[in-house]
Structure 1
Amino acid sequence: MSNKSVKRGRRSAKRKKPSYRRNYNCGKKLSEAIHKALDQDYGTDSHFNTRATHKRRSAVFVRYCNRRGMNDARKIDREFILQFGAYIKARLNGDYDWPDGNVDEQISVAYAHNAISTVNTIMRAFRGDNALKVSAREILGVCRQSVRTKEIQADVVDAKYAANLAIAAGFGRGAALILLARAWGMRVRECILQDLDRIKREIEVTGEAAILEGCKGGRKAKDRTIKANEFRMEALKYAIEVRPEGSRNLLSETDTVKSFLMKEVNPCRQFLLSSGIPHFVELRAGFAQDIYEEVMGGPSPLKAPIRDKIMDRIAREEVSRQLGHYRVSVASSYVGGMRNAA
């Protein structure tokens, strides 16, 4: 046998690298692997805020894994996640003391629920299934409650003032987003991607329009319709006026949602603050309060005690429908809770 054939034999016998490596082949370092898994699961061209939020929250889980000597996501099982849940639950009652003397501060119920929710998302991204999903409610033994108590700071006058500041600074499309969010109760992403021509056509036929594009979690529902009024038509007409030529929404051919957020939306946050509006979500809360008071025929629970519990329930159902949540309980985070009922 020639030397040449022997060498070829040695090459073919060379051990191949395994295709299934630590952290599901997403990287050696757990934190970096989590970020990569989330990007692969959601896609890098969408869900920017969702991915950023989960990446930020994942730091709690990564620190816990490091302290427990867990450096490979493939070894994480349901028992380990339940132990993490017990650790999170312990932090609800006070500071958590580690054996080495380090202390983790007490956390809120909402933060605890979010931490466990993020772990569920991370493991789904790694594994491609929900086999390790756990219930935060069962682990923690408490439900998170988000009931607004502070009066809403986003009336129509303030929103128009913020839009005017944006226009003066050269952010016409950012101003359109501010007006759309306040007038139609849309999320930022919904404002960016909404088919403005479709909305106009629907209004011309029925006097109302459905919010379909860019909905959170893909929750597109044709029964999320909103009646047009003078302010809503004003916001729609302005958005159509300033949108890029040939576009059905606020994006140009070269824009992405991410680039639009960076170029138009983020600079407009200062104009909201200058107008007394803390953030974009407050615009949506202002819309919710308008809907509640319209149905109720009276002030929201943030302004006065609830007098009619039946009408209050009907008003909350309408708020949840028009916001796209379809959960009456969520309305409490926008218009206040039931504790002021007479």
Structure 2
Amino acid sequence: MACRAHLYIHLIIEEVVMSNKQVSRGRRSSRKKRPSSKENFGKGRQLGYAVREALDDYYSRVSHYNTRATHKRRAVTFIHFCRRHGVADARDIDREFVLSFGQYVRQRIEGEYQWPDGTVDAQVSVAYAHNLISTMNVIMRAFRGDNALKISGKEVLGVCRKSVRTREIQADVVDTKDAVDRAMVEGFCLAAAVMMLARAWGMRVREAILADLDRMMREIKRTGEAAILEGCKGGRKSRDRTVRANEFRMEALRFAIEVRPKGSKNLLSESDTVKRFLLREINPCRLILKKAGVPSFQELRAGFAQDVYEEILEGPSPLKQPIRDQVMDRIARAEVSRQLGHNRISVASSYIGGTRHAA
């Protein structure tokens, strides 16, 4: 009897388990799976959101913060153009469409662009027009994974990017130190150190933030010069980019070491990131720079470039008077390019001016 009772209980339990399985199966089968959206190559239903997602995925979400942010700002123009033409899905964009975008940008170089409803888009510079084409190319490559829709800015715009500086540099040492003092008063000591490093050593903002200050000091004591290695744009890290120390450069380096977070080899604390540093320190100080007469952080690098050029020629840069020694001019431009981390002589013209010669 005990065996029968045990068998009976076992059968009841088995029936209950099977019944529960059937119920659960019924519930799962009653739920219809929402079909996955393929719009915008699976990046999202809204074009604007999809563009931002595509750029983040393309560059990775943990690096290239400035590059991604720049492309996202410029992407607004391309998204606006797409919406104006009723394009809501990036899969519908073909070569004819990207060429029409190029023509739209070209017309904005020549003057204001007026849409049929009377809305007017402002004129843009040649340089910014090329940037818009570049961003459009990056967006489509991020979506598609190829360069099938890439267009040439030079061909579609019909004009090359102008990169020769014509106005005098507004970043002398006195104005820079004035900006540093203002920043310190406002409590932005780390940003003040970035200003000093940018003006004295020709560093980009990211390079100044991430520079290994202790390494630089060791190299100066050993050789009298230091290499710019950390935070270089586009991975252009090279031991060839060395800058010889002088009194002003040592002042900037010592100041950065003095104000850096305790225990850090650079201007970042252990828990900080470059992105937070930019938002917290750099962005509020852009206005401080302008109040001191310096247009931007980039202008500080231009001031450094002019110093290098004038030290070699022992005379004024082309922005101040025509060139008299073409051989020395070329040597100076090559040195400016090397110390700025470009290694292309042509780039020097965007910092120190063109090659106009004396009569």
Q: TM-score, normalised by structure 2?
A: 0.87
Of 302, 308, 323, the residue aligned with 1:306 is 323
In 1, the alpha carbon distance for the partners of 2:25 and 2:244 equals 75
2:73 equivalent in structure 1: 56
Q: Which moved more, 1:158-167 or 1:193-202?
A: 158-167
In 2, the alpha carbon distance for the partners of 1:157 and 1:196 equals 24
Over 3 Å counting, the alpha-carbon distance change for 1:94 and 1:163 in structure 2 is: closer
Residue identity in the other structure for 1:190:
E
Alignment of 1:220-259 (within 5 A): 220-259=237-276
| Contact map agreement 2:106 2:129 (CA 8 A) in 1 | yes
In 2, the alpha carbon distance for the partners of 1:276 and 1:269 equals 11
SS at match of 1:23: helix
| Contact map agreement 1:156 1:182 (CA 8 A) in 2 | yes
Q: Which moved more, 1:130-139 or 1:296-305?
A: 130-139
2:92 equivalent in structure 1: 75
SS at match of 1:209: strand
| Contact map agreement 1:309 1:341 (CA 8 A) in 2 | no
Residue identity in the other structure for 1:152:
I
2:348 equivalent in structure 1: 331
1:149 equivalent in structure 2: 166
In 2, the alpha carbon distance for the partners of 1:166 and 1:102 equals 41
Q: Which moved more, 1:329-338 or 1:287-296?
A: 329-338
In 1, the alpha carbon distance for the partners of 2:218 and 2:257 equals 13
Residue identity in the other structure for 2:128:
Y
Over 3 Å counting, the alpha-carbon distance change for 1:169 and 1:59 in structure 2 is: closer
| Contact map agreement 2:37 2:45 (CA 8 A) in 1 | no
Which of structures 1 and 2 has the bigger CA Rg?
2
2:193 equivalent in structure 1: 176
Q: Which moved more, 1:313-322 or 1:105-114?
A: 105-114
| Contact map agreement 1:184 1:287 (CA 8 A) in 2 | yes
Of 33, 36, 46, the residue aligned with 2:53 is 36
Over 3 Å counting, the alpha-carbon distance change for 1:224 and 1:131 in structure 2 is: farther
In 1, the alpha carbon distance for the partners of 2:196 and 2:117 equals 53
2:337 equivalent in structure 1: 320
In 2, the alpha carbon distance for the partners of 1:192 and 1:3 equals 62
Report the Cα offset of residue 54 of structure 1.
1.3
Alignment of 1:1-342 (within 5 A): 8=25, 16-19=33-36, 21-339=38-356, 341-342=358-359
| Contact map agreement 2:324 2:357 (CA 8 A) in 1 | no
Report the Cα offset of residue 186 of structure 1.
0.4
After superposition, give the CA deviation of every residue in 1:9-58 in whole Å (9 maximum; x if it has no partner). Answer: 89569765555611122221111111122222223444333222211211
In 1, the alpha carbon distance for the partners of 2:117 and 2:191 equals 50
Over 3 Å counting, the alpha-carbon distance change for 1:3 and 1:234 in structure 2 is: closer
In 1, the alpha carbon distance for the partners of 2:210 and 2:144 equals 31
Across the aligned residues of Structure 1 and Structure 2, the Cα RMSD in angstroms comes to 2.5
Report the Cα offset of residue 66 of structure 1.
1.2
In 1, the alpha carbon distance for the partners of 2:115 and 2:254 equals 59
In 1, the alpha carbon distance for the partners of 2:176 and 2:20 equals 82
Report the Cα offset of residue 306 of structure 1.
0.9
SS at match of 2:226: strand
Provide structure 1 residue ranges, at least 5 long, that are not aligned to the other structure: none
Q: How many residue pairs are counted as aligned between the two chains?
A: 341
Over 3 Å counting, the alpha-carbon distance change for 1:77 and 1:246 in structure 2 is: same
In 2, the alpha carbon distance for the partners of 1:80 and 1:14 equals 41
Residue identity in the other structure for 1:36:
E
In 1, the alpha carbon distance for the partners of 2:350 and 2:42 equals 40
Q: Which moved more, 1:102-111 or 1:255-264?
A: 102-111
SS at match of 1:252: coil
In 1, the alpha carbon distance for the partners of 2:112 and 2:279 equals 38
After superposition, give the CA deviation of every residue in 1:79-137 in whole Å (9 maximum; x if it has no partner). Answer: 32122212222333344444455443433221211110010111222233333322111
Over 3 Å counting, the alpha-carbon distance change for 1:18 and 1:341 in structure 2 is: farther
Over 3 Å counting, the alpha-carbon distance change for 1:92 and 1:162 in structure 2 is: closer
Q: Percent identity?
A: 67
SS at match of 1:91: helix
SS at match of 1:92: helix
Q: Which moved more, 1:75-84 or 1:281-290?
A: 75-84
Provide structure 2 residue ranges, at least 5 long, that are not aligned to the other structure: 1-18
After superposition, give the CA deviation of every residue in 1:204-237 in whole Å (9 maximum; x if it has no partner). Answer: 2222111111111222222111111111111111
| Contact map agreement 1:243 1:249 (CA 8 A) in 2 | yes
